[in-house]
Amino acid sequence: MTEFFFIRHGQTITNQEGRINGAHIDTPLTTAGISGAQAAGKVLQQVHFNQVFVSPQKRAQKTAQLVLANNMTKKLQIVDLLQELNFGDWEGRLIADGKLDPAVSRFFNDPENYDPSSFHGETFSEVVARGQHFLQQVMTKFPTQRVLVVGHGTMLTLMIRSALGASIGEIMTQPKLSNDSISVMRGGIDTDFVLERWNDTSFLPAMTKAADY
């Protein structure tokens, strides 16, 4: 089976300001985001990764670089399938304002009826589809390897939990992955996925965590 280690990127300025992240907005990591990534790197320092896959967004790439700073694994493979959910016209705007818009509010309160077409966003089903496509590609090409995947809160949460059989409604009404968290899952083309570690932040220094939208 392929062993997947997943890390959500560190806290960004956009997170800190309570604004909506997404596929097309990228702000630097905060001090807390940097220290969290370094702490994750310390935990994984002795873990050998055969492959490292990273979102094309800078916050994920910076997190991966910090995590691997003292790890023998260095080569990052940028994968477009791992980019965050596209939040369309709402990216960079305040989450609090978004919750006042009926279409956006369904993201938080009624995910089964979430329709982002009015603001040119991406559906949950579209994110799930590219996430499952990524997992299948990796398991087919690297069936017995250990891989590190560094990405985003909503995208990784949907990818991991849908692979385990959860519905979109179940996934999006539960807490999503925290900044700099580590999750571990095993799976193969002909075997079911097994979750071994979920949203582990026990190693992190005291820091503020924010949702990634």
Catalytic residues: 9, 84
CA–CA separation, 8 and 212 (whole Å): 9
Distance of CA 17 to the CA centre of its chain: 19
What band does 206 get if pLDDT is binned at 50, 70 and 90? confident
pLDDT at 26 over 80: yes
- What's the mean pLDDT when you consider all of the chain? 95
Question: Average pLDDT in the 31-45 region?
Answer: 96
* Both structure tokens of 80: 């477009």
pLDDT at 209 over 90: no
Question: Average pLDDT in the 66-71 region?
Answer: 95
DSSP labels, 70-95: TSS----EE-GGGSPPP-GGGTTSBH
Give the closest residue to 24 by CA, choosing from 78, 93, 77: 93
CA–CA separation, 154 and 142 (whole Å): 25
pLDDT at 210 over 60: no
Question: Average pLDDT in the 150-178 region?
Answer: 97
pLDDT value of residue 212 = 57
pLDDT value of residue 73 = 80
CATH number of this structure's domain 2-200? 3.40.50.1240
Query: Mind spelling out the 3-state secondary structure of 121-178?
Result: CCCHHHHHHHHHHHHHHHHHHCCCCEEEEEECHHHHHHHHHHHCCCCHHHHHCCCCCC
CA–CA separation, 40 and 53 (whole Å): 16
For 119-154, how does the pLDDT look when each residue is reduced to its tens digit (9 = 90+)? 999 999 999 999 999 999 999 999 999 999 999 999
Parse the chain into domains and list their residue ranges.
2-200
pLDDT value of residue 19 = 96
Q: Are 13 and 209 in contact (CB under 8 A)?
A: no
What band does 213 get if pLDDT is binned at 50, 70 and 90? low
